[in-house]
Each structure stands twice: as C-alpha cells, then as structure tokens.
Amino acid sequence: MNCGNLVACCALVLCLASGGAARAADPYPTRPIRIVVPLSAGAADTLSRVIAAKLSEQWSQPVIVENRPGGGTTIGTDLVAKAPADGYTLLMATFSHAVNATFYRKLPYDTVKDFSAVTLVASAPNVLEVPPSSAANTVEELIAMAKAQPDKLNFASAGNGSSSHLAGELFKNLTGTKIVHVPYKGAAPALNDLLGGRVEMSFDPLPSSLSHIRAGKLRPLAVTTATRSSVLPNVPTLAEAGVKGYELNGWSGLLVRSGTPAEIVQALNAQIVKILRTPDIKNRFESLGFETVGDSPAQFQAFIESEIAKWRKVVTEANIFAE
C-alpha cells in the first residue's frame, strides 16, 4: 500500500470511529418508546396515555401505549420482563404486580429481580361502599350486620387477586366477620350488581366508583388508605372508623427491564416526575380520583418490596391462590 492510500485508509477509520462515538453519545431517547399496560382500558390505561402524551411533547419522540391484558396482568408484565434492557419498553405496574408475586405459585418472571423501578406515578384508595338501599350508614353498623348474619352478606370484587378482593379479605381478617366473596370478570360487572343491589357491598377502587358516589348512586362508608382522600375529604378511613391497622393503597407506577442503564432510568424518572408535578396534571389526576406521587427509583423499589411482603401474608393466611 502506498503512502497516499495509507493516509486515506487512516482518515476513513478515524471518520468512522468518530461517527460511531457521536451516535453512541446521542441523548436518550432516539426512537419511539412504548408503555405496556397489562390491563384493558381503565384507570392505569388513562394514566399511561396522559403521561405518554406529555413525554412525546417533551422529547419529540412518539410514546405509544400498548394494552396487553390477560393472566391477571402477568402477560403484559412478562412481555416487559423479556424486552431489551434499553429503556424503550416500560411497564405500567399496578397493585396486582405486588400481589401476583404470591397469588401465582409460579410466574414466568421474577417480580423483583427482572425489573427496575422508575417512579410511583399515582395512588388512590379503594372505597368500602354500599347501595343507598343498605341499612348500614357506617362501618360500625355494617360490621354489626355481618356479625349478626355470618356468611349471609356478600362483597363483590373485580376478580380473584384484585385489589377489591384483597381489600375485602383484609377487612374480614381484621373485623372477624364472615362475608362471602363474589368474584366477577372485571370491575364493571361487579359495579353493576352493586348498583342494582344484588350484592351488599364492595371495596372498589375510587377512580371507577367516583362518578356513582358523586351522583348519589353509591354510599361510601370509608376509604382504605391510612389518610383521608382529598377527593372525598368527608369520608373517614377504615382505621378511623374502628378497623385498626387497616391500610390498602391502590397504586400505579412505571418499571423497566432490569439492567437498563442507570442514566436512562434517571432520565425517565426526572422527566416523568416533572410532568407529575405540573398543576394541570395534578388536577387532571385528582378529577379521576388519583393523587400524583412522583418519587425516586429507590423509594419506589422499596415500596414495591414492602407491598409484596404485606400482601404475601394476607394471601397466604386467607389461602388465596390462582387455580
């Protein structure tokens, strides 16, 4: 090779190398992002779409929401567990994510090890509610009715292992009552039977019941969280109503595949927390029955692990497992 060709080859190599370095340094994101919602249309889906629209605006990249329902959220969750660890596939996890770690005797993924937390997006209480025709106007009256008629009263849930199911089991455990669980295939049919008076009570997530409560079609007796909801400030917590130690927090938060670079997790966290703290988003979420959160990845990870431990005890003691 003559000197001129050697110089040309060296220049080409340097050019390619510098181009590769520039591409490697391109800021995240450089292509579309998807948020997998392991449920059909509903509260988690709505939250995801609001965040996706804002992220698209901020990053000038499409952010697509993809519903992958089925298997009690395990199908969509498994999809993210097996996605590349590059920050381009997110999971909108919910309360079920923590419960499923025990509810399912075998999962195709590890609930803790296969995911990295980004941020807790929002939380909402479940509501112990009865139809207006109910004789119970307080939690105390409802407990008295249940103890006077063991196994006669029913509570509706969105299905085995759902937050409305676990809320009822925790209530039974802490009050010593015998109330029959009636599982439905989703929140909508459970709510329809409650509205029709065909079941006596429900522990429905506030976002799905809020419009009926405001319309006077359902009577809220208490919320399941440790503090009162800003959306229903006049409704006591179950602990305030006499069920000591009761707490159930419905939540939604974003995860990515474990192994995703820390700088990408931090970029996602910073942008999403910024979105959650804007007044219009806070007001939008509150109108739906949610309170925005927006914490750090470490805080959300610790929260998930505490939820797994808490509900493992309830699921095991009540012998509630997927068949």
Q: What is the mean pLDDT of the chain?
A: 91
What is the residue-wise DSSP string for 35-82? EEESSSSSHHHHHHHHHHHHHHHHHSS-EEEEE---GGGHHHHHHHHT
Q: 138 with 182, same domain?
A: yes
199-242 residue pLDDT tens:
999 999 999 999 999 999 999 999 999 999 999 999 999 999 99
> Per-residue pLDDT for 1 more than 60?
no
pTM to 2 decimals?
Answer: 0.86
CA separation for the pair 305, 86 (Å, rounded) = 23
Residues 112 and 139 placed together within one structural domain of the fold? no
Last residue of a domain, one of 205, 223, 241: 223
For residues 111 and 37, state if they share a domain.
Answer: yes
Higher pLDDT, 126 or 2: 126
**Same domain, yes or no: 210 and 159:** yes
Domain containing 50 equals 33-124+249-318
68 lies in a domain?
yes
Q: Residue 286, CB half-sphere, CA atoms under 13 Å: how many? A: 13
pLDDT for position 233: 95
Question: In this predicted structure, what is the pLDDT of residue 269?
Answer: 98
State the average pLDDT over residues 125-146: 97
Domain identity same for 95 and 162: no
* Claim to verify: residue 253 and residue 280 sit in the same structural domain: yes
pLDDT confidence tier of residue 25, bands split at 50, 70 and 90: low
- pLDDT category at 13 given cuts 50, 70, 90 is very low
**Looking at the structure, do residues 294 and 265 belong to the same domain, yes or no?**
yes
Q: What share of the chain is helix, strand, coil (3-state, %, to 5)?
A: 45, 20, 35
| Domain boundary residue, one of 223, 238, 269 | 223
The 10s digit of each residue's pLDDT in 74-86 is 999 999 999 999 9
DSSP 151: T
Beta sheet of 180-183, edge-to-edge order? 180-183, 154-157, 201-205, 126-130, 219-223
Mean per-residue pLDDT for 103-130?
A: 97
- The answer on 167 and 82 residing in a single domain is no
Q: Is residue 98 part of a domain?
A: yes
Q: Tell whether 215 is covered by a domain.
A: yes
* pLDDT at residue 23 tops 50: no
pLDDT band, residue 9 (cuts 50/70/90): very low
The CATH number assigned to the domain holding 40 equals 3.40.190.150
- Is 307 in the same domain as 287? yes
Give a yes or no: residue 27 inside a domain.
no
Q: Structurally, how many domains does the chain consist of?
A: 2
Please check whether residues 216 and 260 belong to one and the same domain.
no
- Distance, CA of 53 to CA of 62 (rounded, Å): 8
Mean pLDDT of 240-248: 96
C-alpha 91/C-alpha 253 separation (Å) is 8
Is residue 15 situated within a structural domain?
Answer: no
Q: Are residues 144 and 212 in the same domain?
A: yes
In a domain, 24, yes or no: no
Question: How confident is the model at residue 136, as a pLDDT?
Answer: 96
Establish if 108 belongs to a structural domain: yes
The reply to whether 282 falls in a domain is: yes
294 with 208, same domain? no
Peptide bond between residue 29 and the one before it cis (omega within 30 degrees of 0): yes
End of a domain among 189, 223, 257?
Answer: 223
- Cβ proximity of 296 and 262 under 8 Å: no
Per-residue pLDDT at 160 exceeds 80: yes
